[in-house]
Amino acid sequence: MITRIIPTMIALAWMLPTHAADITPHQPIGYCTVDPKAAKAAGFEFAEVRIREFVKLSDADFAKYLADYRAADLPALTGFWFLPNEQKVVGPNVSTNEVEAYLEKAFDRCQQMGVKFIAWGSGGARQMPEGFSPDEAFQQLVGFAQRMAPRAEKRGIMILAEPLRKKESNTINSAAEALKWVEAVNHPNFQMLVDIYHMNEENEDASIIVKAGPHIRHVHMSNPIGRVFPLRAGEFDYRPFFKALSQINYRGPIAIEAKTENLSEEGPKAMAFIRSAYAAAAE
């Protein structure tokens, strides 16, 4: 019981505006994974889970999945892989009824898993058809998020707009565009995350983090060169990214979304590097 209560309490702190988040002791570091036991053994503090993987399960299979996660004793604080590619929310053929049914099931199961933050990337679902109006696509995204956020709020869940590089989607490709989306939706349970990989792919300056600071609730971390685990300062210039996070006094969760050939070895090294890099940027 205690392991379920504590993540909920600290998640409430992370849901506050960034300037109020300094009541938490440090940035908890998690891992985007399908193996919570291995992540726990490597020292991670939470798992970021693949939502659409457990939404598609039968009730019996989900009950087993849920039991296995609870047995791993690692909070499933955040989730990604939100909407399947076929659940279109942009374009002339939005599958409204199917999406609504999927969302109800997704929110219900996320609540059972203890998920507090959902990273909404889902590039295929929000892909704009060729020739479709970008302005209309944006308004569709705003309207969908405005309908979705109150439902998430009732479950104690916050939806986070995730910018994706242009190779993965043709809508919301930058943190600046995500900020515009969040401001248009104007709901406390629709905020945003920043991902160093996508920012680097789109050549986005880290100064956007300062501008978007009041809305940033989560961070995806990697070494953008190859999207592998971040291990040392010399492999990439992380300083602007961490400096910007320190400027907004970010204290929310950080999840490593990256490849590794040796989780047990690279996991602790990556966590130590992230903490030291953040501390150095704050000096």
Q: How far apart are CA 223 and CA 51, in angstroms?
A: 24
Average pLDDT for 134-152: 97
Q: How many CB atoms lie within 10 A of CB 263?
A: 19
Q: How far apart are CA 237 and CA 201, in angstroms?
A: 14
The CATH number of whichever domain residue 184 belongs to comes to: 3.20.20.150
Judged by average pLDDT, the poorest of 6-10, 59-63, 237-241, 247-251 is 6-10
Cβ(48)–Cβ(30) under 8 Å? yes
Residue 23 is given by DSSP the state: G
Rounded (5°) CA angle 24-211-279? 40
Q: How far apart are CA 96 and CA 153, in angstroms?
A: 20
Q: What share of the chain has pLDDT > 70, as a percent? A: 91
- Please tell me the predicted confidence (pLDDT) of residue 282: 86
Q: What is the reported pTM?
A: 0.91
| Owning domain of residue 7 | 2-282
The owner of tokens 């869940």 is 157
**What is the C-alpha R_g of the chain?**
18
Q: How many domains does the chain have?
A: 1
- Please tell me the predicted confidence (pLDDT) of residue 6: 43
Residue 156 has pLDDT above 60, yes or no: yes
